[in-house]
Chain A
Amino acid sequence: MSKNFFEISNVDFSVSGKTKVKDVSFSIENEGDIICLLGPSGIGKTTILRTIAGLEKIKKGTIKLNGKTLSSDKINVEPEDRNISLAFQDNSLFPHYTIEKNILLGSDRNKENKEQKLNLKEIIDLLDIFHILKKYPHEISAGEAQRASLARSLLSQPDLLLLDEPLSNVDQSFKEEIQVRLKKILNQLKITTIIVTHDSYEAFYLGLKCGIIWDQELKQFDDPYKVYHFPNSVEVVNFLNRGILIPAKVTGKNTLENSDLGIIEGNFIREYPMGSSVQLLLQPEDLEHDDKSNLKLEVVDRKFRGTNFIYTLKTPSNTLIPVFVHSHHIHQHEVDEKFGIKRPIHIEHIVCF
C-alpha cells in the first residue's frame, strides 16, 4: 500500500468531455506539505483542482487521499463528503451573507470532526480582513473577496486545501506579505495544500514541490530549485521564460564550445558523448560583464528592472543573448555600444537538450 498522503495516478483531467491534461501522476508524501502547480492560463490547472475537489469526474486513473480512493472510473465520492476545500479564483462568496457569516460557514464542517486549531480572530488578523467583516460580497474589492474566501477555506480545516490563484487579485504591495503569512499558517496548521498559480516566484516560495503543466501534460514535478536549475524539457524552459538555447558542441567532461562565445566550462547535469551537438541553456545570470574582456558583443537593447539591467546582446551569428548586470554597476552601456563578457565563461549547472 502506498504511503503517500495524497496521490494522483495516471489521471486524464477533462471538462465537458474535453481532455485538458493527460496521464497525470504525482503525489504528496506527507500531511501538511504544500505543492504548487504552475502553467499558463487555460492550460487546465483549475480543472485539476475541480476534479480533486470532486466537482468533475474522471474516466481514467485514480485519486487517493489518506489511502482512500476518492475518484476513479468507478468511484466518485461526492464533493461534500471529501473534506477538501477549494478556494476559487473568482469570488465564490455567498452573496446574501456578510463576509463574517461567509467565513463562519467554513467552521460548520469541522464542528464535530476536529479540534479548532485556529480561531476566527487569528484568521482575520492573518489576512487583514477585519474592516470588511460586516460588509456584503458586492461591497468589497476582488482582492478582499479572495482573502475572505481564503479565510473561509482555512477555517474549515480541510484534509486537503486547494487554492486556485489565491493571490491573483491581491495588490502587489501586499502580496509578498500575505505569501509569508499564508505559508506560516499552513505550516502551523499542517494543512496539506495544492496551490495553482501562474506566478513562478509565488510557486517557488510556497511550494515544497512544483509541477509544470504545459501542452496537456505535467512536464516536471520536482522541488523548486530543481525545476529552476534542472529543467527537464525545452517546454519547462520556455514556460519559466529563462534564457535562450544556443547551439554548442560537447568538447570535454566539463566543457563545451559555442562558435560565438568560445569555450564554456561547468557541471553537466546529464552526460553527453564527446563531440555531440546540443542546445545549451544560457540564462541571463550565466554571463558576467567585464569591460576588459576581449569578447565583445553589440548592445541592441537595455531594460531597467530596478535591481538590475537586462542587456540584450547580439553575437556575430545574430543570436540575441540576455545578460543581467546589477543596476549599481558604474559603467553603463548604451544601445549600439560594445559590451564585454568575462572569460572563461563558467556555468554552474550546464543544462542541454
Chain B
Amino acid sequence: MRINFWYISSFLISLFVIIPILTVFSSFFENTTNYYQVLKDTFLLEYILNSVILLLSVLILTFLIGTGSAYLVSFFEFPFSNFFKWALILSFAVPPYIYAYSLTAFFENYGTAYTILKNLFGEANYNQIIPKFDGLFGVILSISFSLYAYVYILARASFLYQSQNLIDLGKNLGFTKFKTLYSIILPAARPAIVAGLSLVAMETLAEFGAVDFFSINTLTTGIYNSWIAFDDLAFANQLSFYLLLFIFALFIVENLSRKRAKYHFNSKSGLKQKQKIQLSGAKSFAAFSFCFVVFFLSFLFPLSQMMYWTLKFPENLFDLQIIKLLTNTLYLVFLSSLVLIIFALTSNYGNRVTKNKTLNALSTLSISGYAIPGVILAVAFITFIAWFDDTVVKTYGFLSIKKVFIGSILGLVIVYFIRFYSLAFNGIKSGYEKINISVDESSYLLGYSKRKTFMNIHIPFLRNSLLFVFILISLEIIRELPITLILRPFNFETFATTAYISASEDLLEAAAVPSLFLILIATLFIIVTSKYILREK
C-alpha cells in the first residue's frame, strides 16, 4: 500500500469526524454524577419509552405517507400528478419545530381554528370541540409531516428504475395491482425505502426543537437536560451511546432480514421504459385526494398559518432585521457547504484510489456521526475545547483558544461539519458509485494523472451529485436548531434561532415571521434544484 496525499487526507478527515463518536463510546466507562441514579429512579424509563413510541409511530407514518405518495406519482397518471411529483418534496422546507408551532397556533384555545369557526358560525365555545394536537401526538405529527419526504424521494427514485419487465411479469402471473405492489414493487424498492426510513429514524431520535416545544421527555432532551441542569456530560454521552446502539440495532436487523436477496438489476440490456397507468373516475379522485391531503398538511398548512400570523401581526415583521438574518443564514449555508463538499470529495476520492480496507472502515464508521444528535455534538465540542484549553493550551502558557472555537463561526462550522459530514460523504459516494472503476483506468491509460483524473473526469461527472449534496446540506443548515443555538456567536441570529427564541418565550406570533422566511428560503432552494432531486434520467 502506498501512503500518498489522498490516503493521508482521507485518513485525517475521517479521523476528525470520528472523534466525537469515539467520545460517546468511551463515555460508557466513565463515572457519572448522582444525576444518573436520580434519573434512573425517576424519568429514565419514560425517556426511553417516549423515544421508542415516537420513533415507531414516526416510522410507520412516514412509511405510509412517503411510500404511498411515491407509488401513486410513479406508476399512475391523475390530475396534477406531475405537480405533486415535486410539490411533495416541499415539506422539507418546514422543520418539525415550525410544524409544531403551526399545529399549536391552529388548534390552541382561541387559535386559528377557533377564529375560522367563529367567522363561519358566529360566537360559541368552540375550544371544547377543537381537538388538541399537542404532547407526544403533536410531536409525532410534526416530525412525520416534515420528514416523510426522505422516504418519498428515495422510494420514488427506486420505483423509477424498476423495470417494466418486472411489472409485466406480475401481470403475466395474474397478479392484481395490489399483489404486484406488495410482492414485486415494494420488495424491489426495499433498500431505498429502508435508507429513507433510516434517515427519518436518525432525525427523529435527534429531534430537539419540536420535542422541546411540546415538553416531551425523550433521550435527546434528557441529554440536553443532563448537561444544562446537572452539568453531567459523561451521562449525556452515555444516553447518546444508548441512542446510537438503538440505531445500529435497527440497521443490523434490517441487514440480517435481507439475507442474500439481490435488489439491483442491470438495466443495460433493453429493459422497457415504464408506462404510467392513466387513472380515471373514483380511482383518479382518490389518488389526487391522497396526494393533495399530504401536500396540504405537510406544506400548505404550516405555510398559510405562518403567513396568516405574519399578516395579522405585521409589527413583528418590522421588529426583525430580515436582511441581517438572511445574510447570517446564507453565510453559514455557503461556508459550511463549501467546507463539507471539499472535504467529503477529497475523502471519497482518497477511498477510491487507495482501495485501503482500514481507510474504508474508518470512513464507514465516521459517517455514523449523523446519528449523534446535534445537542450532544455541540456539548461534546464545548467540553473538549474547554478541556484542551485548560489542560494543554494554558499549561504551555499560550493564550486561551476558547474564544476562537466557542461562540464563533469557526466552532459552528466545525460542528456542522461533524454533524452533516455523512450527508456530504454519502451523497458524493452515491455519485461515485455510478462511475465505473474502468473509467478511472481509462483515464490513467490516456495519460491522465490521479489529480487530473479527479479534476477533469470526476468533478464534471459529479456536478449534479455535488449540487444535490449542496442543497441537502443547505436545507439542513437552514433548519438546524440546537447546534446553532448553543454555539452561535453573541448576537448572531438565524431565522431558526430567532423563531425558537420567540416560541420558547411563548411569543408564537413573533416566531411566525422568521418561520415564514425560513420556509420561503428553503422552498426556493428546493424549487431551484427540484429537477436534480427528481431527475428521471
Interface residues of A (CB under 8 A from B): 50, 53-55, 78-86, 88, 90, 92-97, 105-106, 108-109, 142, 149, 152, 156
Contacts and interface: CB of A to CB of B under 8 A. Distances in A.
B309 to A, nearest CB: 47
A80 B447 contact: yes
Given A80-B447, A83-B447, A92 B461 contact: no
15 contacts: A50-B441, A53-B445, A79-B444, A80-B446, A80-B449, A82-B445, A88-B438, A92-B439, A94-B457, A94-B461, A95-B435, A95-B439, A96-B460, A108-B447, A109-B446
The 9 residue pairs across chains A and B that have the minimum distance between CB atoms: A79-B444, A92-B438, A109-B447, A96-B461, A92-B442, A80-B444, A88-B438, A86-B445, A80-B447
Interface of B: 268, 434-436, 438-439, 441-450, 457, 460-461, 463
Contacts of A85: 445-446
A106 B442 CA distance: 10
Nearest to B537: A138
B441 A156 contact: no
A59 to B, nearest CB: 15
B461 A108 contact: no
A84 B447 CA distance: 9
Contacts of B444: 54-55, 78-80
A158 B463 CA distance: 31
Looking at chain B's contact residues, is the secondary structure mostly helix, strand, loop, or mixed?
A: helix
Contacts of B436: 90, 92
Given A79-B441, A94-B457, A106 B446 contact: yes
A220 B31 CA distance: 73
A98 to B, nearest CB: 12
A80 B445 contact: yes
Contacts of B446: 80, 85, 105-106, 108-109, 152, 156
Given A92-B438, A92-B439, A95-B439, A80 B460 contact: no
Which residue, of B268, B445, B460, B461, has the highest number of chain A Cβ atoms within 10 A? B445
A23 B435 CA distance: 34
Given A86-B442, A88-B442, 8 more contacts: A83-B447, A85-B445, A94-B457, A95-B461, A96-B460, A108-B447, A156-B446, A156-B447
B447 A94 contact: no
Nearest to B457: A94
B352 to A, nearest CB: 14
Contacts of A106: 446
Contacts of B442: 86, 88, 92-94, 149, 152
Contact of A90 (B435, B438, B448, B460): B438
A88 B439 CA distance: 10
A84 B460 contact: no
Contact of B441 (A88, A105, A108): A88
Contact of A79 (B445, B461, B463): B445
B461 A84 contact: no
Contacts of B445: 53, 55, 79-80, 82, 84-86
Given A80-B447, A106-B446, A108-B446, A55 B441 contact: yes
Contacts of A149: 442
A86 to B, nearest CB: 5
Contacts of B449: 80
B89 to A, nearest CB: 25
B361 to A, nearest CB: 18
A151 B62 CA distance: 51
A53 B438 CA distance: 12
A189 to B, nearest CB: 17
B185 to A, nearest CB: 24
Contacts of B463: 96
Nearest to B462: A96
A228 B453 CA distance: 44
A92 B446 CA distance: 12
Contacts of A108: 446-448
A55 B438 CA distance: 10
A149 B442 CA distance: 10
Nearest to A137: B439
A83 B457 CA distance: 19
Contacts of B438: 88, 90, 92
Contacts of A90: 436, 438
Nearest to A50: B441
Nearest to B448: A80
A95 B449 CA distance: 19
A198 B535 CA distance: 40
A62 to B, nearest CB: 21
A149 B448 CA distance: 16
B58 to A, nearest CB: 38
Nearest to A96: B461
Contacts of B434: 95
A236 B448 CA distance: 40
B232 to A, nearest CB: 50
A152 B447 CA distance: 12
A94 B449 CA distance: 16
A248 to B, nearest CB: 49
Nearest to A82: B445
A219 B15 CA distance: 51
Contacts of A54: 444
Contacts of A81: 447
A321 B273 CA distance: 51
Contacts of A95: 434-435, 439, 461
A15 to B, nearest CB: 13
Contacts of B268: 142
B452 to A, nearest CB: 8
B448 A86 contact: no
A259 B450 CA distance: 67
